[in-house]
């Protein structure tokens, strides 16, 4: 892929540091202002000190401030903000699905989807296969505007949300452009920062909520208690405090809007460019942006939670009184970057309604006509899958049976049939039997694609259902006493993509290792497993040396003896590495398998499996050119 997603993810990490710095400054300002408010409204200072407070040039200014009281107030405010942020983080710990539901989204299912919804789901599948990530669940928002978002901590728990207006007013090319834009946010590492941003801003805006609550629920008795104990003449202190806290809350909102604008706007240009790279069809995303300008509702989202989540969306979700606080660049500027020849005229909503049902254009790349877009290649790969299996992968009822069918081996058929009958639910054996003949004809890579497609259906299992299904898959894979590459990939990927839905500790929320030396044993184990996929010992040694050379390791480094089960123990530290370290490891793996200038089927399968597990974007033709 032309877009360097590792560099984009590294930029997202830098933006996260900027976010924390800006948040810290905002909290400091609020602590100072809250102290001043309490000192003035609740009478914690003697009357003669008030004038002194307003004259910081006075030589006795510092010595006469009530530092002890201010320290306790600051600690209390800080603890409250930290608690509010922590509670919000726990609320968001299950990732993208929480955000989608908070915005009023309902999950789309192939089984009950209408024609437009199925078209959308198909586009999402194509983009997932094109970028080498799990197919995310899709949520539909009951909004008449044109907008969309991607939310989650990582590709494993990502969801796509899209408004009803987008389905009503956009054609397939334009939908594809919007979805490609959202996938770029998934691959660029923006989502994790976006979730953190929601929690942090909720903390600094809480002070205003507290003031509003105090204003509404305050009673005379409360005012009397506070004023009588702290002031000689402060009957209106509680009212002043409440109003003051509300003012501080507006300041918190002000700081929050500035922070969102500071870390959000430039990412939209990158996501737009990435969408063009994915689709090689600039008219798709440009048309979607023009449609926002022409639609009656634009991109505005009416849900009450849209404000705190406005930075997630494809277009500006709420009205701003100043462009200074906008989370997105101006619409016309975004369009001009993609379509410099645009005359500045937006289509009418009536034109959009007519165009939404128009067939997709047969686009050609103007920059590289001999190379298909990743989305086009993915669509071709999906079309090559048997319709029965494609249908089964898309439905929650049949997705487990499809995965089981992928694990069944002809030489152990009778034993595995008994396992499915004894450990599976009623009717599972019959479903597996119906699918097995078609599945047995597929190449391992096609089976892996089917598992990618089955992820949304598997995520609809309950925790107990998933655990039972996982145990059955484990038993099927161990029938012959060992796990092959497909079995190993399927089991680990199920744990990573579906198991993380029930155990948030499995989600990739934070990068840890940033230096190759910190994870050297894991890197060597990974390199050894890749090297032994070559066809004979001489090529294996050549592959091993090529990998060492790529990362600058000593050529005399001893190659460890590692199997897939042992490699599994190293996956967590590899997965939680920084983007640039992952890039280093990924280039090492590619150099290893390409050492003999030939990528065989087993090596191709291994690289794709590792890309899925390490969350490395890989195009469908990554190893064929």
Classified as helix, coil or strand, 455 is helix
478 half-sphere exposure, CB direction, 13 A CA radius: 9
Which position among 143, 182, 205, 622 bears the catalytic label?
182
Tokens matching residue 584? 């280093």
Report the 10 Å Cβ neighbour count for 494.
Answer: 20
**Cα first-last separation, the chain:** 12
For tokens 């199920």, the residue is 494
Classified as helix, coil or strand, 369 is coil
Distance CA 582, CA 493 (A): 18
Cβ–Cβ < 8 Å for 593, 624: no
Cβ–Cβ < 8 Å for 135, 128: yes
The C-alpha torsion from 306 through 309 and 314 to 317, rounded to 10°, is: 30
**Neighbouring-strand partners of residue 107:** 139
Distance CA 324, CA 320 (A): 9
CB within 8 Å of 324: residues ≥ 6 apart: 258, 261
Distance CA 152, CA 133 (A): 13
Tokens matching residue 298? 């634009």
The sign of the CA dihedral 173, 97, 165, 316 is negative
Distance CA 583, CA 568 (A): 20
User: Are β-strands 159-163 and 148-151 bridged in parallel, bridged antiparallel, or unpaired?
Assistant: antiparallel
Distance CA 14, CA 104 (A): 31
For tokens 């090689």, the residue is 280
Number of H helices, E strands in the chain: 27, 4
For tokens 């044993």, the residue is 521
Cβ–Cβ < 8 Å for 130, 375: yes
Does residue 483 carry a catalytic annotation?
no
Catalytic center residues: 182
């Amino acid at each position: 892929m032309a877009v360097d997603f590792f560099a984009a993810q590294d930029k997202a990490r830098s933006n996260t540091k900027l976010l924390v710095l800006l948040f810290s400054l905002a909290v400091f300002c609020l602590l100072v202002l809250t102290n001043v408010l309490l000192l003035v409204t609740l009478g914690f200072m003697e009357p003669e000190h008030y004038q002194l407070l307003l004259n910081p040039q006075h030589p006795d200014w510092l010595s006469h401030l009530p530092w002890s009281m201010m320290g306790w107030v600051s600690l209390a405010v800080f603890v409250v903000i930290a608690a509010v942020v922590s509670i919000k983080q726990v609320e968001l710990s299950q990732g993208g699905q929480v955000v989608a539901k908070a915005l009023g989204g309902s999950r789309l299912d192939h089984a009950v989807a209408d024609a437009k919804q199925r078209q959308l789901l198909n586009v999402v599948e194509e983009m997932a296969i094109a970028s080498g990530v799990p197919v995310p669940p899709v949520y539909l928002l009951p909004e008449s505007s044109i907008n969309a978002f991607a939310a989650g901590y990582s590709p494993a728990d990502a969801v796509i949300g899209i408004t009803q207006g987008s389905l009503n007013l956009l054609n397939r090319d334009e939908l594809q452009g919007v979805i490609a834009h959202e996938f770029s946010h998934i691959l660029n590492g923006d989502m994790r920062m976006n979730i953190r941003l929601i929690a942090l801003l909720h903390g600094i805006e809480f002070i205003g909520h507290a003031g509003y609550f105090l204003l509404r629920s305050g009673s005379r008795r409360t005012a009397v208690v506070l004023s009588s104990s702290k002031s000689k003449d402060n009957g209106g202190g509680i009212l002043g405090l409440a109003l003051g806290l509300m003012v501080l809350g507006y300041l918190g909102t002000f700081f929050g809007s500035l922070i969102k604008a500071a870390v959000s706007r430039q990412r939209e240009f990158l996501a737009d460019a990435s969408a063009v790279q994915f689709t090689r069809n600039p008219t798709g995303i440009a048309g979607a942006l023009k449609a926002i300008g022409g639609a009656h509702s634009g991109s505005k989202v009416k849900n009450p939670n849209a404000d705190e989540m406005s930075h997630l969306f494809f277009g500006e979700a709420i009205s701003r009184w100043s462009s200074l606080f906008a989370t997105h660049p101006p619409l016309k500027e975004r369009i001009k970057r993609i379509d410099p020849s645009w005359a500045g005229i937006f289509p009418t909503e009536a034109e959009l309604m007519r165009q939404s049902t128009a067939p997709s254009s047969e686009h050609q790349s103007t920059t590289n006509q001999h190379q298909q877009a990743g989305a086009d290649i993915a669509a071709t790969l999906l079309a090559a899958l048997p319709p029965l299996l494609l249908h089964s992968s898309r439905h929650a009822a049949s997705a487990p049976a499809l995965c089981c069918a992928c694990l069944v081996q002809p030489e152990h058929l009778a034993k595995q049939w008994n396992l499915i009958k004894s450990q599976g639910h009623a009717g599972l054996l019959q479903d597996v039997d119906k699918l097995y003949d078609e599945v047995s004809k597929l190449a391992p890579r096609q089976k892996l694609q089917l598992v990618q497609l089955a992820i949304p259906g598997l995520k609809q299992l309950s925790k107990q259902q998933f655990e039972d299904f996982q145990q059955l898959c484990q038993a099927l894979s161990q029938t012959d006493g060992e796990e092959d590459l497909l079995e190993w990939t399927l089991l680990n990927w199920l744990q990573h993509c579906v198991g993380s839905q029930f155990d948030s500790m499995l989600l990739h929320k934070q990068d840890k290792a940033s230096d190759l030396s910190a994870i050297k044993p894991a890197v060597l184990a990974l390199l050894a497993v890749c090297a032994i996929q070559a066809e004979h010992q001489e090529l294996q040694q050549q592959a091993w040396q090529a990998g060492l050379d790529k990362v600058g390791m000593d050529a005399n480094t001893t190659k460890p003896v590692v199997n897939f089960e042992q490699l599994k123990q190293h996956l967590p530290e590899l997965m939680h590495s920084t983007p640039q370290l992952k890039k280093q490891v990924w280039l090492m793996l590619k150099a290893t398998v390409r050492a003999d200038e030939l990528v065989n089927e087993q090596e191709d399968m291994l690289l794709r499996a590792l890309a899925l597990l390490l969350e490395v974007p890989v195009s469908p033709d990554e190893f064929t050119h």
